[in-house]
Amino acid sequence: MGGPSPQQLEQLRRCAVLHVDMDMFYVGVELLDAPQHRGRPVIVAGSGPRSVVLSASYEARRFGVHSAMPVSQARARCPSAVLLEPHREAYAHYSRIVMDIFRSVTDRVEQLSVDEAFLDVSGAIRRCGPPVEIARGLRRTIHERTGLTASVGVAENKTVAKIASAHCKPDGLLVVAPEHTVAFLAQLPVDRLWGVGKRTSQVLQGAGLATVGDLARTPLPRLHALVGTAAGTHLKQLATGHDPRPVTPVREEKSLGAERTFQVDVAETAQLKRVLLGLAHDTAVRLRRHGLRAGRVGLKLRYADFSTISRSRTLGHPVSSAHDLYTEAAALLDGLGNRPQSVRLVGVRAEKLVGSDHALQLSLDGREAEWGAAEEAMDRVHHKFGPGVLRPAKLMDPAVPNRPARDILDGT
């Protein structure tokens, strides 16, 4: 028996865009180590007074708990919720596994965040079967390798695939065939369209346009009068199922960085520098993962009164090691002199990014190469054995064995 005919192949390729979205990813990762809380309202957040909700289980969401909500408010809405501290290195570890699974099927993967991505599987159909079978295989492999679940939307374009994955959550699969696209969209409220925010939704609903079908039937001049020419034309296209944007594997990154908000404001320079070192390692890992180097390093400080300053320094050559990022960030911190207040937030930013194949001028003693090689070896250890098994000694919390110092801080 042969594969699909050219006509069948062309038909399958018309509906070959997948949007894969992990189900309550942060909660799911935490429950791998705390399975006794499955089925209960769970909130992932720091325990400090300034903490906000990172993620909430579906059981907690029924009480109105959502991400970015202050923990105090979330506890008031759901007093029975279990509060679990976030473990960011674990999220990065499982994200890498999931993205590697995607890239084992197709190289056309557009990663949107740690837990979701678009895939164009049109080139994998001959090898892996129809898109719906590819989607089933991805969900099965993700669960087998991680214990986590994912929802997948399959459609002819990115907008419809993303809506479909949200429509079938949790742990679902929904295929929207091209001939059913307009009918599928028509029943949805207008705020389900990608890019329709609260304000636009209010304007549209105030004009009697409550559903996507209402939008599709509305003449363009009226939409232009309501939301502007560009937005009106864009919404009309989406409402009628048109989205020509391709799945773009490589997105240009203008900058990468990491920051931490302290539970208690910090005045000591030594403590700030220890956190800077952890942030430099977080940023360097991301640079190497994307095959990038930084030509400029930035430092961000937010003081107790919420006033914020930033400083940056252009480097003699692009770098990707945490050692180099930290050295520059620490020098910027020292250059501020006496700080007027304690620090509420500190951040590191890698800017002026170039590809890792960019010409690199090394020092005569080769120290940059040595640091880079050592950190790449750490990346391989973390990828194979999981996060947290190897870290710089300065990031060890002496009071808690085998726990990185930055894990005791409340992240933002």
**Could you give the domains of the chain?**
1-175 (3.30.70.270), 181-239 (1.10.150.20), 256-411 (3.30.1490.100)
Tell me if residue 116 is catalytic.
yes
Closest CA to 134 of 111, 160, 116, 152: 152
Residues 91, 33: contact at Cβ < 8 Å? no
Q: Which residues of the chain have pLDDT under 70?
A: 1-3, 250-253, 356-412
* Separation CA 127–CA 114 (nearest Å): 27
pLDDT at residue 156 in the model: 96
Return d(Cα 350, Cα 368) in angstroms, integer: 17
Alpha helices (runs of H) in 55-123, residue ranges in sequence order: 58-61, 71-77, 88-103
pTM for the full predicted model: 0.65
Residues with Cβ within 8 Å of 265's Cβ and at least 6 positions away in sequence, in order, are 304, 341, 342, 343, 344
d(CA 246, CA 157): 8
Distance from the Cα of residue 340 to its chain's centroid: 35
Could you give the CA distance from residue 98 to residue 116 in angstroms, rounded to a whole number? 9
Catalytic hit among 116, 156, 328, 368: 116
User: What is residue 384's predicted lDDT score, i.e. its pLDDT?
Assistant: 53
DSSP per-residue letters across 220-278: HHHHHHHH-HHHHHHHHHHHTT---PPP-S----SEEEEEEEEEEEE--HHHHHHHHHH
Strands 17-22, 42-44: pairing kind: unpaired
Give the single-character DSSP code of 147.
S
pLDDT at 402: 40
Res 6: pLDDT: 75
CA distance 287 to 375: 12
Residue 54 is given by DSSP the state S
Cβ within 8 Å of residue 47, ≥6 positions away: 71, 83, 85, 410
**By the 8 A CB rule, do 197 and 188 touch?**
no
Residue 200 Cα to chain centre, angstroms: 25
pLDDT of residue 389: 47
- Kindly give the pairing relationship between strand 173-175 and strand 150-155: parallel
Say whether 46 sits in a helix, a strand or coil. Answer: coil
Pairwise CA distance, residues 292 & 287, whole Å: 5
Environment class of 283 (CB within 10 Å of its CB; exposed 0-12, middle 13-18, buried 19+):
buried
Distance CA 205, CA 7 (A): 42
**How do the residues of the chain divide into helix, strand and coil, expressed in percent and rounded to 5?**
45, 20, 35
CB 346 within 8 A of CB 260: yes
Mapped to the 3 state alphabet, what secondary structure does 153-204 carry?
EEECCHHHHHHHHHHCCCCCEEECCHHHHHHHHHCCEHHHCCCCCHHHHHHH
- Known binding residue 324? Answer is no
User: pLDDT for 383-399, tens place per residue?
Assistant: 555 555 445 655 555 44
21 in a labelled binding site: yes
DSSP 8-state class, residue 150: E
Q: How far is CA 58 from CA 52, 65, 78, 225, 311, in A?
A: 17, 9, 12, 39, 41
